[in-house]
Amino acid sequence: MAKFALAADNPSSRCRTRGSRVASSRMRLTTLVWLLGGASALSAQSVPPPLPAPPLVVPAQPIGRWTPVPELPGMGRAVDTATVAARRRALARAIRSGIVLIPAAHERSIERDHAQDSDFRQSNTFFYFTQLETHDAWLVLTVAADTGHTTLFLEPRDTSEERWTGIQLGPDSVAASLSGIPDIVTGDSLAERFSALAAAKGGGPVFLPLDDATADEQRNVQAAFAGQEVRDLGPVADSLRLVKDAGELKRLQTAIDITVQGLKAVMRAARPGMWEYQLEAVLEGTFRANGADRVGFPSFVGSGPNGTTLHYDANRRQTRAGELVAVDAGAEWGQYTADVTRTFPVSGRFTARQKAVYDLVLATQRAAFDSVRPGVRLRDIDALARRYMKQHSGKLCGKLSCDVYFVHGLSHWLGMDVHDPGDVGAPFAPGMVLTIEPGIYLPAESLGIRIEDDVVVTATGAAWLTDGAPRTTEAIEQLMSCPSCP
């Protein structure tokens, strides 16, 4: 997913990640019926209907398959108790002393909030330190001398409500065993605990993730700890999230592998006359068929002129022969999202003009990838990519060099958010995950090309996480000419 601002222009990526993220939206699969039964042409269309697309492939062994824990709400993936305990210890060392209050996300009302969508998605901060998908809970850490005591506050189970919305996690021994947190307390006693902590005083500041806490929660904390300093936990938590551990990389790779299968399915299915929303249905149907939880952000499927709009997600236009289609998408799995873009010819073959522009974008991406190594920064590879594109554009983009038409940032962090928070000026270190996504957009020609891949920084350089998605014009044409090929 392209960023509008350059990395060098922003001291932190937090300000643009939270509000723009729409990961909790359910996949728009209203057109999936078309996939299963074939598309019927609308009588008023002037363009001949496309040939039927291949049926949705439902694998016997989905990429994202897992065995749910029956007692856990949400997707029910088992908590890696050792990992989340290590993260909480790292948080204690980072703040040294104080009180950490982390609220869980709240369940949404299907009648009041989102009539079309009641999907629950946990807040990233709460999930990072617990891996629990339970709503209306609080994680409280009291930290002194770099060590902390953890308490988890859970609402009592409501068995009548469970008949409507599914299993809940209550304050009992089951929750203690599954979460790895021995001190489980009923949420009814939260106000009392806040009062006791406030009365103790002298324990350092109070930390609260302001982006995750509702206005009421912030007011309640301010009132309970009146006279004490309340700080935003966000920057501290974000700094810990910047370098991914082995479990995070595994979740990211699963999300990416699912996304790659979706993109390949779209390329196999594409043919002139298909509607963008039909391509979207192929993409997102493949995501779900492979075990994705949801999309990490709305899928962008832009054909022809729409491919020059960076974040186009209406997906309402009918494709035409000879055009390119840009698909920018990411499946989410285990709270982590992929972010991959491929641009391909709907007719299956690039024109000479399209190939020339595409190859410059691809070479620019390769030059940027080759420069990734520990100690380098986002702004360094951004500048290198623009310099490379300018030096190699020739007359390809007319009187101006092609870098003028590269109108967004080259990279952003990736993780639980598609634009994961973190200091964009931080030097690369092993375990950091970023995108590399150069593009050239020529609206006068209805020609937009973006190639986006996800990479992880290693000890000596970087590794592609998205290598399974065809990247060269030759590989794309080969896949599109052989729908049955793997």
Q: What is the pLDDT of residues 255-269, one digit of tens each?
A: 999 999 999 999 999
Task: Name the β-bridge partners of 326.
Answer: 302, 343
The pLDDT value recorded for residue 486 is: 72
**Which segments in the chain show pLDDT lower than 70?**
3-54, 109-118, 201-203
Indicate the pTM of the whole model: 0.90
What's the pLDDT at 201? 64
What pLDDT, on the 0 to 100 scale, is given for residue 2? 77
Q: What is the pLDDT of residue 316?
A: 97
Residue extents of the structural domains in the chain: 7-62+246-481, 81-241
Of the candidates 262, 351, 309, 313, which has an alpha carbon nearest to the alpha carbon of residue 450?
309
Which pLDDT belongs to residue 118?
A: 59
Given this model, what pLDDT does residue 199 score?
85
Q: Which residue, 436, 428, 429, is CA-closest to 455?
A: 436
Q: Whole-angstrom Cα distance, residue 214 to residue 30? A: 32
Beta carbons of 8 and 411 less than 8 angstroms apart: no
Check residue 108 and give its pLDDT: 73
Could you name the CATH architecture of 81-241? 3-Layer(aba) Sandwich (3.40)
Question: What pLDDT score does 474 carry?
Answer: 98
Q: Which class is 7-62+246-481 in CATH?
A: alpha beta
Q: What is the 3-state secondary structure (H, E, C) of the chain?
A: CCECCCHHHCCCCHHHHCCCCCCCCCCCCCCHHHHHHCCCCCCCCCCCCCCCCCCCCCCCCCCCCCCCCCCCCCCCCCCCHHHHHHHHHHHHHHHCCEEEEEECCCCCCCCCCCCCCCCCCCCHHHHHHHCCCCCCCEEEEEEECCEEEEEEEECCCCHHHHHHHCCCCCCCHHHHHHHCCCCEEEHHHHHHHHHHHHHHCCCCCEEECCCCCCHHHHHHHHHHCCCCCEEECHHHHHHHHCECCHHHHHHHHHHHHHHHHHHHHHHHHCCCCCEHHHHHHHHHHHHHHCCCCEECCCCEEEEHHHHHCCCCCCCCCECCCCCEEEEEECEEECCEECCEEEEEECCCCCCHHHHHHHHHHHHHHHHHHHCCCCCCCHHHHHHHHHHHHHHHCCCCCCCCCHHHHCCCECCCECCCCCCCCCCCCCCCCCCEEEEECCEEEEHHHCEEEECEEEEEECCCCEEECCCCCCCCHHHHHHHHHCCCCC
Nearest to 434 by CA among 349, 368, 359, 478: 368
- Do 7-62+246-481 and 81-241 have matching folds? no
